[in-house]
Amino acid sequence: MAGFDLVLLGDPVAHSLSPVIQQAGLDAAGVMGTYRALRVDANGFRRACVDLRAGRWRGANVTMPHKRLAFAETDEWSTGAERSGSVNTIVVKDSRLVGHSTDIDGIRQVWQEAGLPLDAPVLVLGAGGAAAAALVALDVSDLLISSRRWEAAQEVAATADVAVRPVKWGKVIAGAVVVNATPLGMKGETLPRGIVEQSAGLLDMAYSVQVTPAVRTACRAGLPHASGPDVLLAQATASFTLWTGLAAPSVAMRAALQKAQATG
């Protein structure tokens, strides 16, 4: 697999640990290739899709704010990506771009691993591609969504075709598991007061090298929780297999992530 080069497309990307994780995976699997991060705006993303079709890269990950745009720019989709209208992984197939949402698989995996309740209400915060993936992954009987952009939240819920109740931004839903699908926490921002403290658990999709305030709050309260790096690793291993057709060397990828977190 000489020249098996991959790219992460988004804005921002400087904080991302995906290059560390995926390069470790390529190296451990003996795949000759590179994984780099490229900061792009919407126009830059569209140009990158042209480059993908031309064979510059064999595949791509997509991060905020382009997951919805990636759906529009790809040619065909996995079931999960089509349902969520969100793409975080692009596979090049004969100059066609196939969109996947490995976020969905990653969310389900870490939910189980963290022991988050299966019978509690779920409150999803956000209205972007990550929120769409969460709605599809966690299609439960009592699903709620809250966003500072309510029209966008309505659009996400309609695309995912799930029964969801609107909740005013900042409203505390006691006993719900909170899914933070916003960027809040990446730069030390906090979620609205009481959201995590009165929850039944937390899945925080935001991440940075440092632990986010929401995760620290969950830890202090003794709540079951999963962090952004947990989701990142789970979706990364699924992406690796889609690109290469190989079982992901998850032990090596996890070790690289942990080392980056420890030295970051």
Domain boundaries, the chain: 6-102+230-263, 104-227
Q: What does the alpha-carbon distance between residue 42 and residue 90 come to, in Å, rounded to a whole number?
A: 16
* Model confidence band, residue 29 (pLDDT cutoffs 50, 70, 90): very high
Q: What is the phi/psi pair of residue 36, to 5°?
A: -125, 160
Q: Please tell me the predicted confidence (pLDDT) of residue 1.
A: 46
Mean pLDDT of the 91-101 span? 96
Mean pLDDT of the 17-40 span? 97
Q: Please tell me the predicted confidence (pLDDT) of residue 161.
A: 79
Helices 129-137, 150-160: axis angle to 10 degrees equals 40
Cα 158–Cα 159–Cα 161 angle in degrees, nearest 5: 65
Assigned CATH for 6-102+230-263: 3.40.50.10860
How does pLDDT run across 34-65, given as a tens digit for each residue?
A: 999 999 999 999 999 999 999 999 999 999 99
Statement: the pTM of the whole predicted model exceeds 0.75: yes
Place of tokens 């804005």: 11
| Alpha carbons within 13 A on the beta-carbon side of 68 | 13
* Three-class SS state of 212: coil
Polymer length of the chain: 264
Residue 85 has pLDDT above 70, yes or no: yes
How does pLDDT run across 211-253, given as a tens digit for each residue?
A: 999 999 999 999 999 999 999 999 999 999 999 999 999 999 9
How does pLDDT run across 151-193, given as a tens digit for each residue?
A: 888 888 888 878 898 899 999 999 999 999 999 999 999 999 9
Residue 2 has pLDDT above 70, yes or no: no
Cis peptide preceding 65, ω within 30 of 0: yes
Place of tokens 């000759």: 32
**CATH fold match for the domains 6-102+230-263 and 104-227:** yes
Q: For the domain with range 104-227, which CATH number is right: 3.40.50.720, 2.40.10.10, 3.40.50.2000, 1.10.490.10?
A: 3.40.50.720
* Residues tagged active-site: 67
How does pLDDT run across 194-211, given as a tens digit for each residue?
A: 999 999 999 999 987 789
Residue 141 has pLDDT above 80, yes or no: no
Q: What does the alpha-carbon distance between residue 86 and residue 100 come to, in Å, rounded to a whole number?
A: 8
**Over the chain, what is the mean pLDDT?**
94
Q: Please tell me the predicted confidence (pLDDT) of residue 264.
A: 65
